[in-house]
A and B are shown apart, each in its own frame.
Chain A
Amino acid sequence: MSATAATADATLLCLSGVTKTYRMGEATVPALREVSLAIQPGEFTALMGSSGSGKSTILNICGLVDRPDCGTVELDGKDTGTLDEQALTLVRRENIGFIFQGFNLVPVMTTFENVEYPLFLSGVPAGERRQRVSEMLTKVGLADLERRRPDELSGGQRQRVAIARALVKMPKLIIADEPTANLDSATSNQIVGVMHELGRMIGTTFLIATHDPRLTVLCDRVITMNDGVLQ
Chain B
Amino acid sequence: MKWLIFAGKNILRNRRRSLITVLITAVGTAGILISGGFALFTYESLQEMAARDSGHLIVAHKNFFTSDEDTPMQYGLDNAAEMRKRLEQDSGVRMALPRVQFSGLLSNGDKSSVFVGMGVDPAGEFYTKGPALTVASGTTLSAAPKADAPAEIMLGTELARQMKAVPGTLLTLLSTTTNGSLNALDVTVCGTVSTGVPDVDKRLVYVNIATAQHLLVTDRVSTLSVYLKDTGQTDVMRTQVAAQFPLQTVQTWRDQAYYYEAVRSLYNRIFGLLGIVIVVMVGFAISNTLTMAVVERTREIGTLRALGTLPQQIVGVFVLEGMILGGAGSLCGMLTALSTTFIFLFADFQMPPPPGRSVGYPLQINFSPSLYLLTTLVLVLLSVTAAWFVSRKMAAKPIVEALTHV
Contacts and interface: CB of A to CB of B under 8 A. Distances in A.
Contact of A108 (B9, B313, B399, B400): B9
Contacts of B400: 60, 65-66
Interface stretch (A89-97, A195-203, A210-218): A89-97
Contact of A121 (B10, B300, B307, B399): B307
B303 interface: yes
A98 interface: yes
B307 A117 contact: yes
B10 A63 contact: no
A120 B299 CA distance: 20
Contacts of B311: 85, 89
- Listed residue (A63, A104, A120) with the most chain B CB atoms within 10 angstroms of its CB: A104
B13 interface: yes
B398 A66 contact: yes
Contacts of A122: 308
A102 B2 CA distance: 25
Interface string B373-406: 0000000000000000000000010111001000
A108 B307 contact: no
Interface in B301-335: 303-311, 313
B399 A65 contact: yes
B305 A108 contact: no
Given A104-B299, A108-B6, A92 B310 contact: no
A85 B309 CA distance: 11
Nearest to A104: B303
Interface in B7-33: 9-10, 12-13
A89 B310 contact: yes
B12 to A, nearest CB: 7
Contact of B306 (A90, A94, A98, A120): A98
Contacts of B403: 65, 100, 104
A118 B403 CA distance: 18
- Listed residue (B9, B303, B304, B306) with the most chain A CB atoms within 10 angstroms of its CB: B306
A86 interface: yes
A86 B12 CA distance: 30
A222 B292 CA distance: 43
Contact of B308 (A60, A102, A108, A121): A121
B300 A118 contact: no
Contacts of A108: 6, 9-10, 12-13
Contact of B2 (A63, A86, A120): A120
A121 B309 contact: yes
Nearest to A90: B308
11 contacts: A60-B399, A65-B306, A65-B399, A65-B400, A66-B398, A85-B396, A86-B310, A89-B311, A104-B299, A109-B6, A109-B9
Interface of B: 2, 6, 9-10, 12-13, 299-300, 303-311, 313, 396, 398-400, 403
Given A66-B400, A85-B311, A104-B303, 16 more contacts: A63-B306, A66-B398, A89-B310, A92-B306, A92-B307, A92-B308, A93-B308, A96-B308, A98-B306, A106-B300, A106-B304, A107-B300, A108-B9, A117-B307, A118-B307, A121-B309
Top 3 closest pairs, chain A to chain B, by CB? A93-B308, A108-B9, A65-B399
